[in-house]
Amino acid sequence: MTDAAALPGQPRGVVTSGPATARTVNVLAPNASAMTLDGTNTWLVSEPGSDLAVVIDPGPLDDVHLRAVIAAAEGAGKRIALTLLTHGHPDHAEGAGRFAELTRTKVRALDPALRLGDEGLAAGDVIRTGGLELRVVPTPGHTSDSLCFHLPADRAVLTGDTILGRGTTVVAHPDGRLGDYLDSLRRLRSLTVDDGVHTVLPGHGPVLEDAQGAVEFYLAHRAHRLAQVETAVENGFVTPEAVVAQVYADVDRSLWPAAEWSVRAQLEYLQDHGLIPGGLE
Cα–Cα separations (whole angstroms), residue 233 to 79, 184, 243, 245, 270: 54, 26, 7, 12, 10
pLDDT at residue 13, as a whole number: 86
The answer to whether 178 touches 221, Cβ cutoff 8 Å, is no
Q: How confident is the model at residue 280 (pLDDT cuts 50, 70, 90)?
A: low
The answer to whether 178 touches 265, Cβ cutoff 8 Å, is yes
Query: DSSP string of 178-238?
Result: HHHHHHHHHHHHHHHHHS---EEEESBS--BS-HHHHHHHHHHHHHHHHHHHHHHHHTT--
- Say how far apart CA 180 and CA 169 lie, in whole Å: 14
168-227 residue pLDDT tens? 999 999 999 999 999 999 999 999 999 999 999 999 999 999 999 999 999 999 999 999
Q: How confident is the model at residue 1 (pLDDT cuts 50, 70, 90)?
A: very low
**Close Cβ partners of 186 (under 8 Å, ≥ 6 residues apart):** 219
- Say how far apart CA 4 and CA 13 lie, in whole Å: 7
Residue of 121, 77, 83, 129 lying closest to 102 (CA atoms)? 83
